[in-house]
Amino acid sequence: MPEALVVDYGGVLTNSLAETMGGWLAADGIDPHAFRRAMRDLLGAETAAENPVHALERGEIEIPDFERQLAEHLLSTDGSPVQPDGLLARMFSGFRAADDMVGVVRRARQRGLKTALLSNSWGMDYPREGWDELFDVTVISGEVGMRKPDPEIYLLCAQRLGLPPQGCVFVDDLSPNVRGAAAVGMVGVLHQSYEQTVVELEVLLGHDLRE
pLDDT tens digits, one per residue of 124-159? 789 999 999 999 999 999 999 999 999 999 999 999
Query: Last residue of a domain, which of 36, 64, 91?
Result: 91
CA atoms of 114 and 33, how far apart (whole Å): 41
The alpha carbon of 72 is separated from its chain's Cα centroid by a whole number of angstroms, namely 24
Residue-averaged pLDDT of the chain: 94
Question: Structural domain of residue 142, as residue ranges?
Answer: 4-16+95-205
**167 and 87 together in one domain:** no
Residue 210 in domain:
no
**10 and 109 together in one domain:** yes
Is residue 190's pLDDT more than 60?
Answer: yes
- DSSP code, position 147: -
**33 and 9 together in one domain:** no
- DSSP code, position 188: E
The distance in angstroms from the start CA to the end CA of the chain is: 22
**67 and 79 together in one domain:** yes
Query: Last residue of a domain, which of 91, 110, 127?
Result: 91
pLDDT of amino acid 45: 55
Q: Can you state the angle between helices 32-43 and 17-28, rounded to 10 degrees? A: 120
Query: Last residue of a domain, which of 91, 116, 149?
Result: 91
CATH of the domain at 143: 3.40.50.1000
**73 and 145 together in one domain:** no
pLDDT of amino acid 60: 92
**162 and 84 together in one domain:** no
Read off the pLDDT of each residue in 180-200 and give the average, rounded to a whole number: 98
In the three-class reduction of DSSP (H, G, I as helix; E, B as strand; rest coil), residue 1 is classed as coil
Residue 211 in domain:
no
Count of domains observed in the chain: 2
Give the least confident one: 1-10, 43-52, 80-89, 132-141: 43-52
